[in-house]
Amino acid sequence: MAIETISKLPPLTREQKDSIVFINGDANQGLGEAVSDQLGIEQGVSDLGWFPDSHPKTRLNQLFAGRKVFIMNSHSATPDGRSASDAFMRHVEMLSIPTVHRAAETWAVIPAMYGQRNDREARNGEAVTVKNAFRIIEAMRVSGIITVELHQEQSANAYHGGAYVPLKAPHFLRAAVSECIAGEEHRTKVVAPDAGRIKSAIAASKVLGTGVAYMPKDREDGEVYRIAGIDSDVRDSIVVTEDDMIGTGTTTLTVVEDAYNRGAEKIIATAVHPYFADPALEEFKKKRHMIHKLFIANTMETNHVVEALGADLVQVVDISPMIADAIKAIVTDASISRDIPGDHYM
């Protein structure tokens, strides 16, 4: 089943291009280059470095007056040792500059949101990091925020500033999966790794034209204490499991191992945010023989994942067209929900 990923939005006119500035931070340079290519513009000029005491040194050498400014950075750790906190503070400093210099609008574009896993007070007295992050960005007087696949959308309720545009990335991953299972949809099942992903698994099965299954889990205080097996016969089947992120990898690998032990012929895993926190890469290496293909989006740096697990296993799915389309829609006053293919705007 072919899945459409081609935008219905026309290219920006020269006048529209001149009216905007797009600047990317230093946490995910590949995605920044891809988005600027999709927009047909050069990235704005920036001088990004670090002081000896590790604080960010940020300068945007750009004319902002009267223009719509889109500043993007992934709030994620990088292979060169910079932390997610470093990336977040870099973004905050970048966002503080355009409004002071009379930009018409300043938009925060966030492919991977800081602290999104920490979205509730699991224990009394815990900080809710993602809500604090939204409040800090709001304090930069931004006109709006664009996020990609926020772990829990209600986290954005902490933001009371301008517009909020939540983009959903599974459509692009499902398009890649669709090509991988073409002609074999009838013997494919999308397995929800837990109760929180059942709705998404059902949506994926409808788009892909496959069956659906579920792996029940019991949790207490946020910790899993019992896992039942997949609630369906998957012997000689193709199993697809999708999650919004791979952190330690436990959720995805639990489904992979159970499907493998139950005789699945092929196992395909997908994730929007490839954090791969320790020891995820090592665990995936141990079980890579169980996985036919791993599709991940480029919401953050992915080169180290591909190098560790192999390009034969890992396929990076480019989401830059979706981000560029959201920017185009804002610039041209188009409808994101109508003019961008797929279920991108929720």
The enclosing domain of 29 has a CATH number of 3.40.50.2020
Mean pLDDT, the chain, rounded, equals 91
CA 333 to chain centre: 24
Between 78 and 69, the higher pLDDT residue: 69
Q: In this structure, are 195 and 247 located in the same domain? A: yes
| Percentages (nearest 5) of helix, strand, coil residues in the chain | 35, 25, 40
Rounded CA-CA distance 174/176 in Å is 5
Our CA dihedral for 338, 339, 345, 346, rounded to 10 degrees, sits at 10
> E-strand spans in 80-128?
105-110
Share of the chain above pLDDT 70, in %: 91
Q: Per the structure block, which two tokens stand in for 138? A: 């709001």
Round to the nearest angstrom and report the end-to-end CA distance of the chain. 23
The dihedral built from the CA positions of residue 23, 33, 246 and 276, taken in this order, carries a sign that is: negative
pLDDT, tens digit, 9 for 90 and up, residues 216-264: 765 555 554 445 568 889 999 999 999 999 999 999 999 999 999 999 9
Q: Could you tell me the pLDDT band of residue 335, with boundaries at 50, 70 and 90?
A: confident
Q: What's the token pair of residue 185?
A: 């949809």
Is there a single domain that holds both residue 72 and residue 184? no
φ, ψ at 213 (rounded to 5°): -145, 180
- Are 216 and 178 part of one and the same domain? yes
Under a CB-based contact definition with an 8 Å cutoff, are residues 51 and 89 in contact? no
Cα 67 from Cα 224, distance rounded (Å): 49
Q: Is residue 86 assigned to a domain?
A: yes
* pLDDT tens per residue, range 154-191: 999 999 999 999 999 999 999 999 999 999 999 999 99
DSSP state at residue 197: G
Task: Give the integer Cα–Cα distance in Å for 147 and 110.
Answer: 5
Q: Are residues 35 and 150 in the same domain?
A: yes
Position 5 in a domain: no
Residue with tokens 């939204």: 134
The answer to whether position 344 is within a domain reads no
Put simply, whether the predicted model's pTM sits higher than 0.95 gets the answer no
Whether residue 176 sits in one domain with residue 252: yes
* Structural domain of 95: 14-169+320-339
222, two tokens: 């946020």
In single-letter form, the type of residue at position 117 comes to R
Complete edge-to-edge strand list for the sheet that includes strand 293-297: 211-214, 188-192, 238-246, 266-274, 293-297, 314-317
Domain assignment of residue 156, yes or no = yes
Which residues, in sequence order, are CB contacts of 7 under 8 Å at separation 6+? 321, 325, 328, 339, 340, 341
Phi/psi of residue 91, each to 5°? -65, -45
